[in-house]
Amino acid sequence: MSKRSRIIKEGLERVPHRALLYATGIPKSEMNKPFIGIATSFTDIIPGHVGMRDLERFIEKGIHTGGGYPFFFGIPGICDGIAMGHRGMHYSLPSRELIADMVETIAEAHQLDGLVLLTNCDKITPGMLMAAARLNIPSIVVTAGPMLSGHYMGRRLNLTSDTFEAVGKYKKGLIRDNELQALEMCACPGAGSCQGMYTANTMACVTESIGMSLPGCATSPAVLAQKKRIAFESGVKIVELIKKNITPRKIMTDKAFRNAIMVDLALGGSTNTVLHIPAIAHEAKVRLSLDVFDELSRKTPHIANMIPSGQHYMEDLDYAGGIPAVLKRLKDMLYQNPTVSGKNILDIAEQADIMDENVIRPLNKAYHKEGGIAILKGNLAPDGAVVKQTAVNKNMMKFEGVAVVFDSEEDAMKAILSSSIKAGDIVVIRYEGPKGGPGMREMLSPTSAIAGMGLSESVALITDGRFSGGTRGPCIGHVSPEAMEGGPIAILKNGDRIRIDIPKRKIDVLLSDEEIKKRLSQWKQPMPKIRHGYLARYAKLVSSAGRGAVMY
């Protein structure tokens, strides 16, 4: 029996504890087995989570087979797509901290010996990993898997291109009512996380690359039997991890985070990993700065051209060999590190097969010489800003334009849909950072509207908020310090000229140092947008985007 659960099971003084445990129906013969919590984020409002009931059963079967005793407990989830573009998105990033706190609370209150973390979507996966790193008890992650592509009139569909961007296309008269309605019904055909390398699937790939889920877990589609087998094997494996006392911090090392960042860069993953990976590292007691992303991006080629900026879907990546095949491509760059499977990450890479060289290209035939993410700095973002450079047209890698400034996403969206934005403009959306939002909302609605209206190669967008993994084009987020902290983005005015140079990693407003200092001296912090409830407390405690937006 594990030392942890003995605290609630052994000794004369634990008679009432045992009585309560027996009240749950646990047989006496099972009492000496490891107590394993299954943190399930099942909900029937998130497509990525509606299929979890089946996976719960297979995890439970696996734990029993391995010699443990499982207990389910619920963890909330938010669908970023449904929360997008309104008040609900304020809660998405802050929910990450709630999830980590809730897993910690249940595991500590009941002294669980280990955890299986059943997750899938954007903030739930990093929240679960943060909890695992913080608790440092044996844990394994099961990501529920991506959605299959949609189909309509002989073409494949995905959420971003065929719904969010359809709004701008419809507004411009490029599609009609019947097609818009068909896209609504066909773009998302069933259970699973959205089909491309958006945040949910990027984080699943990161989780597997760090070594916290079994090989093949990240890309195996939600509806396939293979996903159930992975769930079963994860249940068996957690018992072994407990017996061997293999804890998350033995796996989530500095080397593991670097491996995961390289895989993320090779896949052209979501910019949200620049928030989540440092936050997980923080809980694992590993120091990880933004500069590491840029350092690795300069030497990691982009070898998989995934939706939204490319043409391949998650199912294509799975059929091509999944994350093990990506690791095989990168094996000469990777660090040796253990995983929950019991295999070293380099062994997984060596044993993998690459099934499709067009989906996972050789390094010498990469789509881009550098990785997906670039960190920009300059007088507009002294502490850094983030751009998915592989999603930017080569003609927009260097861009100079005129600032059109908005203090909220809603105001910017109105201007975009009213055709007030023209070629050569740089849309600036501020007071949307971790403190100012609060909650650092994703800007998928405005970026998709810009793309849908045909402006993604002539208009840039800059924000102290963040972007969905579905964003493409010259969209620069995470500007730090944010406006609410008095960062330079707070003193921009309509008509200011801004210069973006992604190859040189620069972002500057073309003002003299004296003018910037003068404006900053005159700036006054506005009243918070939200002054009550959880978000008000969150705004007081959250750190900058440059530090992972963790709470202190």
Minimal CA–CA distance to 318: which of 220, 222, 226, 230? 220
pLDDT digit string, tens, across residues 15-72? 999 999 999 999 999 999 999 999 999 999 999 999 999 999 999 999 999 999 999 9
Minimal CA–CA distance to 425: which of 397, 452, 456? 456
Q: Dig out the tokens for 122 from the structure.
A: 């954007």
> Residue 1: what pLDDT?
52
pLDDT digit string, tens, across residues 298-329? 999 999 999 988 999 999 999 999 999 999 99
Averaged pLDDT for residues 178-189: 95
Q: How far is Cα 511 from Cα 117, in angstroms, rounded to an integer?
A: 49
Averaged pLDDT for residues 83-112: 96
Are 396 and 388 spatial neighbours (Cβ–Cβ below 8 Å)?
Answer: no
Give yes or no for residue 167 having a pLDDT over 90: no
pLDDT digit string, tens, across residues 523-543? 999 999 999 999 999 999 999
E strands, 380-501, are: 381-388, 398-406, 425-429, 460-463, 475-480, 497-501
For residue 468, indicate whether it is catalytic.
yes
> Residue 33: what pLDDT?
96
Q: How far is Cα 95 from Cα 177, in angstroms, rounded to an integer?
A: 36
Contacts by 357-365, CB closer than 8 A, 24 or more apart: 359/304, 359/312, 359/316, 359/317, 359/319, 359/320, 360/303, 360/304, 360/317, 360/320, 360/321, 360/325, 360/326, 360/329, 361/303, 361/304, 361/329, 362/303, 362/329, 363/301, 363/303, 363/329, 363/330
Q: 398-406 and 425-429 as β-strands: parallel, antiparallel, unpaired?
A: parallel
Give yes or no for residue 375 having a pLDDT over 60: yes
Please, how many CA atoms are within 13 Å of residue 116, restricted to the half-sphere of its CB? 36
Are 163 and 135 spatial neighbours (Cβ–Cβ below 8 Å)?
Answer: no
Are 34 and 2 spatial neighbours (Cβ–Cβ below 8 Å)?
Answer: yes
Catalytic residue among 213, 448, 468, 544: 468
123 is in an annotated binding site: yes
Which domains are seen in the chain, by residue range?
32-147+189-349 (3.40.50.2300), 153-184 (no CATH), 374-545 (3.50.30.80)
Q: Is 454 exposed, middle or buried (0-12, 13-18, 19+ CB in 10 A)?
A: middle
> Residue 507: what pLDDT?
98
pLDDT-derived band at 2 (thresholds 50, 70, 90) equals: low
Percent of the chain topping pLDDT 70: 99
Are 327 and 349 spatial neighbours (Cβ–Cβ below 8 Å)?
Answer: yes
Q: How far is Cα 467 from Cα 441, in angstroms, rounded to an integer?
A: 8
Averaged pLDDT for residues 445-469: 88
Mean pLDDT of all residues belonging to the chain: 95
122 is in an annotated binding site: yes
Q: 506-509 and 398-406 as β-strands: parallel, antiparallel, unpaired?
A: unpaired
Averaged pLDDT for residues 204-224: 98
Lowest pLDDT segment from 25-29, 250-254, 280-284, 413-417: 413-417
SS3 state at 191: coil
pLDDT digit string, tens, across residues 407-446? 999 999 999 989 999 999 999 999 999 999 999 998 878 8
Averaged pLDDT for residues 216-234: 98
The better pLDDT of the pair 349, 393 is held by 349
SS3 state at 386: strand
Give yes or no for residue 281 having a pLDDT over 80: yes
Lowest pLDDT segment from 123-127, 168-172, 479-483: 168-172
> Residue 77: what pLDDT?
96
Q: How far is Cα 159 from Cα 170, in angstroms, rounded to an integer?
A: 16
Give yes or no for residue 83 having a pLDDT over 60: yes
> Residue 198: what pLDDT?
92
Lowest pLDDT segment from 84-88, 268-272, 437-441: 84-88
Q: What is the DSSP letter of 105?
A: H
Minimal CA–CA distance to 528: which of 410, 412, 439, 405? 439
Give yes or no for residue 249 having a pLDDT over 70: yes
Q: How far is Cα 450 from Cα 474, in angstroms, rounded to an integer?
A: 11
Hey, CA dihedral for 203, 208, 209, 210, is it positive or negative? positive
> Residue 443: what pLDDT?
84
